[in-house]
Amino acid sequence: MPLSDEGNLWIQARNGDRKAFARLFDLHASALYRFASRLLGPGPDAEDVVQDVLLSMLQHDKFDPSRGSLRTYLFGAVRNQALKRQRVVLEELSPFVPSREATPDQEMARLQTSSALATAIKALPWSQREVLLLVHYEDLSLKEVAEVLELELAAVKSRLHRAREGLRIILQPLLVPKGDRR
Amino acid sequence: MNDSQLDSALNDLPQPLLPAGLRDRTLAAFDQRRPKVRHLPRLYRWIGLAAAGLCVVIFAATMGAFQIQDTPRTWEIYRLEDGNVFAVKTVFHPTSLSTWLSFFTFERESGMREGQYQQIFHLRLTGLRLGYRVKPQAAGDGTYNLIFSKAVNPPAVFASIPPHPAVKVEEPFVLGTSETGFYTCFIISRNGVNLPECEPPPKRAMVHVSQTSITKGPFVAHVYRPVARLTRHLKISELRLGDWYAESQAQLSTEELRTPR
């Protein structure tokens, strides 16, 4: 099987090519950090996970192009690293950036929703949260998520469904129009 | 709360941004941990090329030196205890990177027969064998071995060479070739060898010179012409050791030619 461009980059970086490593970092670090920070909370832990995953190639390269893409391999590695840490920190997510076009009332409502959503996501069980994050925020297909988590496709679908149902229950009061709350 | 409302809410969640400095820190860590020998293969290639070039130069110089030193114009003469005589010469050819071993065999005792000549053997030796000599040795069963006396340790038997039964020679002797009636001869001394390279080997004539003293003339050449069934005896009074001899230079007379010595 011919190696993809990313597969070649990976091999070059593993052999010490700095430019190849920087290219891989630029391609994947943002998504990996997003995923890690939403699993562990933003901060040093998420940064360490991203760094460790990318530098792990120099010590023990387990990437096998025949088993999947580099992207799914990296997400799986981040997930495993995060699991090892086992520190689910319920911290605030990144600072909220208000929209310039929204009115103050709308911004307040949006802030409340976002905070509630962030809290709700962190309150989800780990197995549901990682599926939801990969599908909704990293645009991985269900099949790719199954590769990352080494699960059956049906299990991925089931976890995603339960995650969405849980969020729906938590967020329902916030999304109901004020006039309906009586 | 329907699916679109939930998706909309999920999309409102802010995206965590990659921390500033993480890229630089990660690259710095990569620099510290990456293999440091990645440029060495290229260096090794240059070293290898330089070494190969040097080897070629040394090889060419060595070949040239051996070509000069180790391509004797003289023959090594070995007189064995059973009376047989071998003349051996090795020549290295740089173009073919091989050494050719040429040798003659002679039987000393029984005299030369009319119309026959000794055989010249040319053997191509495998590999580079420079600066060696080959010494014949009687095997005791009527055959002879050529043994490397140098550059092969221990000396190895190279070939088993049967003596040529038809060639008889008295020393010193002269070899000649004749396809056009023009003889080229060379005198072989008692203590050394000065034989021409006979190519092609003599097929139709043989010149044989004998003498009573190496320092005094006259030399007597016995010429055998198998076609004419004529034995000619030449008296060559002015022939010096190492000189080429041609029929035109010999002062032949029919009388002399027809008078057996």
Q: Which of A47, A94, A175 is opposite residue B1, by nearest beta carbon?
A: A175
Tell me whether residue A98 is in a domain: no
Is the residue at A12 inside a domain?
yes
Q: What angle do CA A92, A96, A98 make, to 5 degrees?
A: 160
Task: Give the pLDDT mean for B126-134.
Answer: 54
| Amino acid at residue number B257 | L
**C-beta neighbour count of A134 within 10 angstroms:** 26
- Residues A51, B18: C-beta atoms closer than 8 Å: no
Q: Best of B2, B17, B42 to disrupt the A interface by mutation (most A CBs within 10 Å)?
A: B17
Asked if the structure places residue A126 within a domain, the reply is yes
b/e string for A136-160 if b means 16 or more Cβ within 10 A? Answer: bbbebeeebbbbbbebeeeebbebb
pLDDT-derived band at A176 (thresholds 50, 70, 90) equals low
* A158 inside 8 A of chain B by CB: no
Does A78 share its domain with A137?
A: no
Residue of chain A minimizing CA distance to B35: A16
**Chain A contact set for B33 (CB, 8 A):** 55, 58-59
> Which of A46-55, B154-163, B231-240 shows the lowest mean pLDDT across its residues?
B231-240
Predicted pLDDT at B88 = 65
> Could you tell me if A62 and A125 lie in one domain?
no
Q: Do A25 and B18 touch (CB under 8 A)?
A: no
Judged by a CB distance cut-off of 8 A, whether residue A94 touches chain B is: yes
Whether residue A113 is found in the same domain as residue A155: yes
Is the distance from CB of B7 to CB of A112 less than 8 angstroms?
no
State whether A70 and A138 are in the same domain.
no
Backbone angles phi, psi at B87, to 5 degrees: -115, 125
Q: Are A27 and A80 members of one domain?
A: yes
What residues in A contact B12, CB-CB < 8 Å? 110, 113-114, 117
Q: How far is B5 from chain A (nearest CA, A)?
A: 8
Give me the CATH number covering residue A133.
1.10.10.10
Q: Is residue A33 part of a domain?
A: yes
Among the partner residues B18, B25, B34, nearest to A58 by beta-carbon distance: B34
Percent of chain B with pLDDT over 90: 3
- Mutation target among B7, B23, B26, B27 for the A interface, most CBs of A within 10 A: B26
- Domain assignment of residue A27, yes or no: yes
The last residue of one of the domains, among A53, A85, A117, is: A85
Judge whether A172 is closer than 8 Å to chain B, CB to CB. Answer: yes
Give B165-225 as a 3 state SS string.
Answer: CCCECCCCCECCECCCCCCEEEECCCCCCCCCCCCCCCCCCEEEEECCCCCCCCEEEEEEE
Amino acid at B46: W
Q: What is the CATH number of the domain that holds A14?
A: 1.10.1740.10
Whether residue A12 sits in one domain with residue A77: yes
Q: Which of A20, A52, A85 is the last residue of a domain?
A: A85
For residue A29, the chain B residues in CB contact (below 8 A) are: 18, 22-23, 26
A10 and A74 assigned to the same domain:
yes
pTM above 0.80, yes or no: no
Strands B219-225 and B98-107, how do they pair? unpaired
Choice among A122-136, B46-60, B72-86 with the minimum mean pLDDT:
B72-86
Residue B54 confidence (pLDDT): 92
Closest alpha carbon within chain A to B29: A55
What whole-number distance in Å separates Cα of residue B184 and Cα of residue B167? 19
Q: What does the pLDDT read at residue B55?
A: 92
Q: Is A9 found in the same domain as A79? A: yes
Q: Is A181 part of a structural domain of the chain?
A: no
Domain extent at residue A121: 104-175
A76 plus A114 within the same structural domain: no
Residues A64 and A114 in one domain: no
Judgement on whether residues A30 and A60 belong to the same structural domain of the protein: yes
Find, in chain B, the residue whose alpha carbon is nearest to that of A33. B18
- Nearest CA to CA, how far is A133 from chain B (Å)? 10
- CA-nearest of A131, A139, A115, A137 to A165 is A131
Ranges A23-27, A114-118, A147-151, B175-179: which has the least confidence:
B175-179
One domain for residues A35 and A78: yes
pLDDT digits (tens, 9 = 90+) for B218-254: 333 433 333 222 233 333 333 333 333 333 333 333 3
Nearest residue on chain A to B6, alpha-carbon basis: A168
Q: Is residue A92 part of a domain?
A: no
- A91 assigned to some structural domain: no
How many domains, in total, are found in chain A?
Answer: 2
B21 close contact with A: CB closer than 8 A: no
CA separation for the pair A124, A77 (Å, rounded):
21
CB contact under 8 A, A29 and B5: no
B36 touching chain A per CB within 8 A:
yes
Contact B36 A16 (CB under 8 A): yes
